[in-house]
Structure 1
Amino acid sequence: MPTLLRVGAYRFFCYAGDRDEPPHIHIERDQDQAKFWLTPIRLQKNKGFSRTEINHIQKLIQEHQEQLLAGWNDFFND
């Protein structure tokens, strides 16, 4: 489960078993979790985050999309 990015209390990561899915990122903070597709960026699953927080997370993903995609590719293509 490599961590690709940390911003404040948020951890952005992927699972080794995600190889066969399109590029995406899991986000967790405390007990809350979400999953976003990276191209195009869109929410796939949310467990516990408020709508306001999901909007904030989506903006963070937009700001770091290139880094997250590079991390995904590095992890799964090596």
Structure 2
Amino acid sequence: MPTIFILFGFRFMFYANDHEPIHVHVIKGDVSAKFTLFPVTLIKNNGLKSSELKLVESVIEENQEVIAEHWNKFFNKSK
């Protein structure tokens, strides 16, 4: 489970067997969410509060390219 970064206690990561489209999983304790990257869209929410969703969505928007670079490097994809 490659971790991209941890911020505000949230782990931004993807799974080694993940699939396209590029997306990111966000985990904190026993709650999680999943967002697509282009565009940043919530796909699944498993317990995050609306304020937490807004925060992590903002972090993802600000770091779209960083997340995409990690994804592409891990899965050996060219941009």
TM over 0.5: yes
* Count of matched residue pairs: 77
Provide the TM-score with structure 1 as the length reference.
Answer: 0.93
Q: Give 3-state SS (helix, strand or coil) of 2:21's partner.
A: coil
- Pairs within 5 Å for 1:33-44: 33-44=32-43
Structure 2, gaps ≥5 residues long: none
Rounded to whole Å, the distance in 2 between the matches of 1:67 and 1:21 is: 16
User: Which has the larger helix fraction?
Assistant: 1
Rounded to whole Å, the distance in 2 between the matches of 1:32 and 1:25 is: 14
Rounded to whole Å, the distance in 1 between the matches of 2:17 and 2:64 is: 21
Moved over 6 A (4+): none
RMSD, aligned α-carbons: 1.1
Cα shift at 1:8: 2.2
Kindly indicate whether structure 1 or structure 2 has the higher relative contact order, using CA contacts under 8 Å at least 6 residues apart.
1
Q: Cα deviation per residue 1:18-65 (whole Å; 9 max; x = unaligned)? A: 1x3210000000111000000111000000001111011100001111
Equivalent position of 2:74 in the other structure: 75
Provide the TM-score with structure 2 as the length reference.
Answer: 0.92
- Pairs within 5 Å for 1:1-78: 1-18=1-18, 20-77=19-76
Q: Cα deviation per residue 1:58-78 (whole Å; 9 max; x = unaligned)? A: 000011111001001011117
